[in-house]
Amino acid sequence: MQVDLLAGTSHRPPVMPERRPTLLLFDSGLGGLTVLSEVVRSRSDADIVYVADDAAFPYGRLSEAALVERVLAVMERLVARFHPDLVVIACNTASTLVLPALRARFPIPFVGTVPAVKPAAERTRSGLVSVLATPGTVARDYTRGLIESYAGGCEVTLVGATGLAGLAEAALKGEAIDDGAVLAEIAPCFVEREGRRTDVVTLACTHYPLLLARLRRLAPWPVDWIDPAPAIARRVAALLGPARERPDAGEARAVFTAGTKLSGPARIALAGFGLAQVEIEAMPA
């Protein structure tokens, strides 16, 4: 006698859960946390790996050749370990130089962070725009090419702040920083010309939005500060497609290449960004 064990039932093939996308956000330090916040809002279903190459911080001290070699070497190890579906280079200094080499080396999408010159030119009413960046970003031909392409009708002031990224990291870690030091870094952004004033400042370093409240308070007059993080998050979402509804959020971890300055307050700050899990992937500078 043959018995049909499926009689009276409807057979459904097993539903396999879709794999979570893995996003890797890369910076020389903690500035990329400003980008992380926006990316998580748009892709809460993703597993996030935030990498701070603090062994080589700050990138501005490296020559162009050394910076390319460094980022490629670190990325080789990260891609091999985490197998990301997409990488965000949350660093203007690296993005304006290393993106072509990264895209040639790895068959995965890379989203860069470049000075928001075009939206600054679109928003200004006075025609006076400032780009607040690191000295390395200011010196790049890429940055000057953006100005020629998108801000030909504006007077653009390039300001290479030498210590603002370090001040931003110190503030995030709970250290006291001097208002006078911050004001000295941003003062050249504020230009007066024939009755006109700078009215837009684009923050061309992901560290700088960490100080945005203080920048607004210390500014000689109100300006429109452009934070590139929301635009980066929109680009990530467009490349990955819409987020899938899941009962639980993706996992997040922070990875440091040195970790020698990971104080208690720094770990608390990381936890505030959802990065309670912290690891060291040692890579000497």
Transcribe 25-86 into DSSP letters: EEESSSTTHHHHHHHHHH-TTSEEEEEE-GGG--GGGS-HHHHHHHHHHHHHHHHHHH--SE
What residues contact residue 225 under an 8 Å CB cut-off, 6+ apart? 201, 202, 203, 209, 212, 215, 216
Q: Is 205 one of the annotated active-site residues of the chain? A: yes
The helix-helix angle for 64-82 and 92-105 (nearest 10°) equals 60
Distances 60 to 34, 70, 135, 185 between C-alpha atoms, Å = 19, 12, 7, 16
Distances 215 to 146, 161, 211 between C-alpha atoms, Å = 24, 13, 6
Burial of 171 (0-12, 13-18, 19+ CB in 10 A): middle
Q: Which helix (H) or strand (E) holds 96?
A: helix 92-105
State the Cα–Cα distance between residues 216 and 123, nearest whole angstrom.
18
35, 229 Cβ separation under 8 angstroms: yes
Of 55, 78, 205, 258, which one is the catalytic site residue? Answer: 205
Of 91, 189, 254, 270, which one is the catalytic site residue? Answer: 91
Q: Which residues are catalytic?
A: 91, 205
